Amino acid sequence: MTAHDFANKIKAKFGDLISEPLEFRGEIGLKLSAAEKIYDVCQFAKSIGLDYLVDICSIDNYGTDPRWTVVYHLRAIVNGSEITIKTDISEEKSELPSVLPVWRTANWHEREVYDLMGIRFSGHPDLRRILMWEGYPYHPLRKDFPLAGKPTDLPGVAFTKVTPMEGGPFVTLSSNDDAIAREPRVRVQENAEPGISDKRLVGKQLK
């Protein structure tokens, strides 16, 4: 089956809970309006041949409600067809059913989303942090988490001071130039002789 076929089957099964299939840059996506049904939708998706959970990622729609969008990227191993299923959850709820019983690969994906964004997955048997240490009080991928980081109370485990931002490698330049020109990697330190790769980037920036 093609990606359109998979999407249409899911739409036919769940009716108004699922949006019409949307195509963007060659990818087929569905939107689930009832987040609590994500387990049922994923279970059905696997039963019709979407047998590999490639990834689960999350989006912080900071300043809007619902705040979170969670995206499930599914693939049929037999022919490589892929679709995405998105669903929104509010900041107040911040919880979804775990799909670990459907795909074992959900284990680390859900732990990462929990660790970095703070979204919980009910029914996950081992929902603990996977990148940050246990007891860390923040979720670093949230948009209200400062880019410079926050001080920690655990010296020797991580930075004990906020990372300085001025001139840092992840700070773009404030200007009316396009994003490529503001990219930190295109910068060349003043009075320094750029390397070959730097010259190439600078040349592109000046064109």
N- to C-terminal Cα separation, the chain:
46
| DSSP E strands, the chain | 22-24, 27-32, 52-60, 68-75, 82-89, 95-97, 120-122
Tell whether the model's pLDDT for residue 128 goes beyond 90. Answer: yes
Q: Identity (one letter) of the amino acid at 121?
A: F
* pLDDT tens digits, one per residue of 103-126: 999 999 999 999 999 999 999 999
Q: What is the pLDDT of residue 136?
A: 83
Tens digits of per-residue pLDDT, 8-45?
999 999 999 999 999 998 899 999 999 999 999 999 99
Res. 68: pLDDT tops 50: yes
Full-model pTM: 0.76
174 has a pLDDT exceeding 80: no
Question: Please, which pLDDT band fits residue 200 given cuts at 50, 70 and 90?
Answer: very low
| In the chain, domain spans | 3-148, 166-207
- In angstroms, the CA 66 to CA 55 distance is 21
- The whole-angstrom separation of Cα 128 and Cα 22 is 34
Q: Candidates 3.30.460.80, 3.30.910.10, 3.30.565.10, 3.40.640.10; correct CATH number of 3-148?
A: 3.30.460.80
d(CA 38, CA 20): 16
